[in-house]
Amino acid sequence: MTRRRWIADEVSGDTAALVGDHAAHLARVLRAEVGQEFDIATGDEVRRGTITTIGYDRVEFALGKKTVLWSRWPGDAPKITLALAIFKFDRMEWALEKCTEIGVSRIIPVIARRSDAHLVAAAGKRRERWLRVVRQAAEQSRREAPPEIAAAVKVKYLVGDMVSAESATRIVLAESGADARIGDVLPSWATEVTLAVGPEGGWADGELAWFYEAGWTAASLGGTILRAETAAIVGAALVINALS
């Protein structure tokens, strides 16, 4: 039987711990017991963990042998950044969850012209929830660590300074004016890819001009118009498939 995986909040030598709500879920909801074994991700490896103490908001583990991990990549996994425009939170969080499960390594919330102003205003306070969403998705999908979630940025900062030409292959999804598909524009040597996905209604014309001026490559997902969360998941999956 496959052991459930947890991502440790604290690691010190051969001990690890879950704290706060993370621990409370294991202790109270799942009714964990001392002596139970789980896989514990410590940041750079996964080890067998045996529960030694259980408290209201803290569960401690003794760490044992390292778990052998399977990877689809023979070397280092490619680093895939999803730059996702802010849109309706429930659907956006579903996209964050699924993109975590398929292997995205970093997520940048983007303030686009068509992002609702009240959602943009609330994005800063929402980040803590997003971190919980991706951590739970990472544990469920048996990743070693959740993706990083950056602070929300405006499009000009994203295309101008945050993702430089030297650091990544940069692709922007465009609903019109882009005949190429993602697999056609990804170079075979790519190891770092940033994929920008717009909000409902897509990127504004002026925003697309910024992407093009900064050297981003436009790509499409075909002739149909997808919802933002669908475009994010399909686009990320196609990038990962092309690099596998």
Identify the structural domains of the chain with CATH numbers, from first to last: 5-66 (2.40.240.20), 79-243 (3.40.1280.10)
Token pair, residue 117, equals 């102003």
| pLDDT of res. 98 | 97
Q: What's the whole-number mean pLDDT along residues 33-40? A: 90
Residue linked to tokens 């190891």:
191
CB atoms within 10 A of CB 189: 6
Distance of alpha carbon 153 from alpha carbon 73, whole angstroms = 31
Distance of alpha carbon 3 from alpha carbon 11, whole angstroms = 19
Asked if 187 and 244 count as a contact pair (C-beta separation under 8 A), the reply is: no
Ranking 4-8, 155-159, 162-166 by mean pLDDT, the lowest is 162-166
What share of the chain in percent tops pLDDT 70? Answer: 90
Give, in order, the Cα–Cα distances in Å from 113 to each of 18, 56, 81, 183, 205: 40, 45, 21, 28, 10
Token pair, residue 46, equals 């996964």
| pLDDT of res. 227 | 93
Distance of alpha carbon 8 from alpha carbon 10, whole angstroms = 5
